[in-house]
Amino acid sequence: MKRKMIVLVLCLSLVMSMFTGCGKKDGTASKDAVYRTLYAAEVTTMNYLVTGNTNEFTIGANVIDTLVEYDNLGTIKPSLAESWKVSDDGLTYTFKIRQGQKWYDSEGKEMADVTANDFVSAAKFVLTPSYESSTAQNYFGIIKNAEPYYSSQLTDDPETEEVEGNGLTIDFAEVGVKAQDDYTLVYTLEQPVPYFLSSLTYVCYMPAYGPLLDQYGAEFGTDNTKMYYNGAYILSEYSPQEKHVYVKNKNNWDADNVFINKIEEKYNSESSTLGPVMAQNNEIDLAEIGSDIVDDWLSDPTRSELLSKTRLKVDYSYFYSFNFDPQFDATYEPENWKLAVNNENFRQSIKAGLDRIKAISVTEPTTPEDILSNTITPANFVAEEGKDYAAYGDLATITAKDSFDKTAALAFKEKAISELTAAGATFPVKILMPYNPSTTNAANECVVVEQQLEALLGTDYIDIVVEAGPATNFLSEVRRVGKYAFMLTNWGADYADPSTWTDPFTADNSYSFMDLALANGDPVADTVTEHYALVDAAKAITLDMDARYEAFAKAETFLINHALAIPYKLSGSVYQVNKLDVFEGQYAPFGVSILRYKGQHLLEKAVSMDEFNTAKDKWIAAREALVK
């Protein structure tokens, strides 16, 4: 393992010399660089140990350093851990923590040393049910005794060190996260986990200063003064629905690679409308350009020079979720929807009837096929011996074919009408489809889906009701409480393994609520049971990666073929005005690396499309050279 790491680092050094040999990047701003943006949806917490919200991940990603990190080419490298070793059986990971690193408060005052104990304290916090961490499950089945410890607290006092519940008595000392000394951290796993290192860049494995966690408990991270910082930036100002200000942590171990000194985020509920105007006037440095105005920008000689695109990301996958446990108002006929969604032919009619290219064209009018995804797990996410996961088994057939089929959709419709009429359903079936109004183009995209599906399948069959949800707390007030029938959702990969993409569709998820349909014995229960069994079988394969990928591909094929969800698109590739070269930033197709500003320079002018494509081509070439 050491030899492989040395070779990889040497290769990386050779590749990076391609970029560093020419000296300072042309067009960079002064050393007082301030990056200015707008935001329309306020965060509800800065507590990176509990949040499951991508918008809130950005805070932790920029203010907290992790044991390891990824460079701009996607190569893992040391961060707070200077080095690490893995036992021969793959069950023990030992990290040497970088000494001399400090925790700082929101004013930049040094507060304490960063030690191995901070990772232990953070793990205990995540595994305390009363704190309701959205990412605690990332420890389950991975860290020894993490899940039994968590479960044992569900009926007892979480403040006690030793708790008894659910027939178990588990002390936290039995959990596989230990500080051997102040600068030696040891993780003990339940079983070999081939992707474990990649997990460590995710929020739930970030450290936190133990005494501060003890002091604030559930109040930790509720504002910027109730947390400490050890990363590239410090959140110096936090005024809800007004502004967020990050300042460079000049004492960070890697401060020389942090080129933006300040980040100013100003709240504006109309940012999607005002942002493009302010970017054109050089009042802000980033703005998405909506599909309703992009043609005007592209045809204007001056404004078109300000346009580039977001990079195509494979760390987020978008899919349409069917809700099997509707909790919306009687107005939208939840019981009738429940009858419909439990009918596979009904789901198949929606799946085959959805013209995804037409819908995606709202956000990507020029090349919508570039971000179309026929699978939940994106192509080019992970590979084994050069074979892409999406090419395994019958998943390869799904990967290669668009699911839109008018003839099949109408055939499924006729079968569904017959079966649902016999079951007592009424038509048209109301389909509540909410959207987040703070998401650029979301309203237009929903309207296109509504019009296209109703035109094909008929308004005598379905009645799609498009509604705007709240811009703030959309997930907690809509998706996570089941107040939708059919909705565009997304999932971000947490680590480098296909299992990360199964999380939205397994027990205790807050997407489709298939587990509740199973518990209630609904008609879809047998299908759900079989899907769960396929996922469990895949997870049990830990050493033979080829067999593991084959098994996960079988489970995903089953999910898609039974229309339990509808794959849709990848994240990114929308037009924007941006004064950052996105290919300078950290890259990984999972976790929060891509959210970090570290490594990026603020440019004097917005990146043009030509400059974007040139940077993209260089990045791809460098990645290919690194692999070779």
Kindly state the helix (H) or strand (E) to which residue 239 belongs, with its residue range: strand 233-239
pTM: 0.77
Q: Token pair of 600, please? A: 């990026």
Instruction: Please state the φ and ψ torsions of residue 268, each to the nearest 5 degrees.
Output: -155, 115
Instruction: Please state the φ and ψ torsions of residue 592, each to the nearest 5 degrees.
Output: -115, 10
Q: Token pair of 417, please? A: 């009408």
Strands 575-578 and 307-309 come out as: antiparallel
| Distance between CA atoms of residues 287 and 280, nearest Å | 9
| Distance between CA atoms of residues 120 and 104, nearest Å | 19
Give the Cα-Cα-Cα angle 313, 316, 317 (nearest 5 degrees). 110
**Dihedral angle sign, alpha carbons of residues 397, 398, 404, 410:** positive
Instruction: Tell me the one-letter amino acid at 292.
Output: D
Contacts of 597 (CB under 8 A, 6+ apart): 35, 62, 232, 233, 246, 258, 260, 263, 580, 585
Instruction: Please state the φ and ψ torsions of residue 106, each to the nearest 5 degrees.
Output: -65, -15
| Distance between CA atoms of residues 573 and 313, nearest Å | 8
Whole-number pLDDT of residue 90 = 93
The CA distances from residue 36 to 169, 236, 374, in Å, are 51, 15, 36
Q: Token pair of 290, please? A: 């909506």
| Distance between CA atoms of residues 126 and 205, nearest Å | 9
| Distance between CA atoms of residues 246 and 230, nearest Å | 13
Which ranges of the chain have pLDDT less than 70? 1-31, 155-168, 314, 572, 627-628
Q: Token pair of 215, please? A: 């002091």
The reply to whether omega before 567 is within 30° of 0 (cis) is: no
| Distance between CA atoms of residues 566 and 465, nearest Å | 19
C-beta separation of 246 from 263 below 8 A:
yes
Strands 262-267 and 34-39 come out as: parallel
| Distance between CA atoms of residues 563 and 322, nearest Å | 9
Domain positions in the chain are 313-571
| Distance between CA atoms of residues 51 and 101, nearest Å | 25
Whole-number pLDDT of residue 472 = 84
Nearest C-alpha neighbor of 255 from the set 90, 374, 108 = 108
Residue 567's CB: how many other CB atoms inside 10 A? 24
Kindly state the helix (H) or strand (E) to which residue 278 belongs, with its residue range: helix 271-280
Give the Cα-Cα-Cα angle 258, 63, 65 (nearest 5 degrees). 80
384-419 pLDDT, tens digit each: 888 999 999 999 999 999 999 999 999 999 999 999
Nearest C-alpha neighbor of 375 from the set 348, 398, 404 = 398
- Strands (E) across 401-472 are located at 429-435, 462-468
Whole-number pLDDT of residue 15 = 36
Nearest C-alpha neighbor of 199 from the set 545, 516, 499, 615 = 499
Q: Token pair of 332, please? A: 């939208």
C-beta separation of 622 from 18 below 8 A:
yes
Nearest C-alpha neighbor of 208 from the set 132, 108, 144, 117 = 117
| Distance between CA atoms of residues 147 and 141, nearest Å | 7
Note the CATH architecture for domain 313-571: Roll (3.10)
Residue 627's CB: how many other CB atoms inside 10 A? 11
Coil, strand, or helix at residue 543? Answer: coil
Whole-number pLDDT of residue 31 = 61
| Distance between CA atoms of residues 560 and 178, nearest Å | 41
Whole-number pLDDT of residue 339 = 98
Q: Across-strand partners of 309?
A: 575
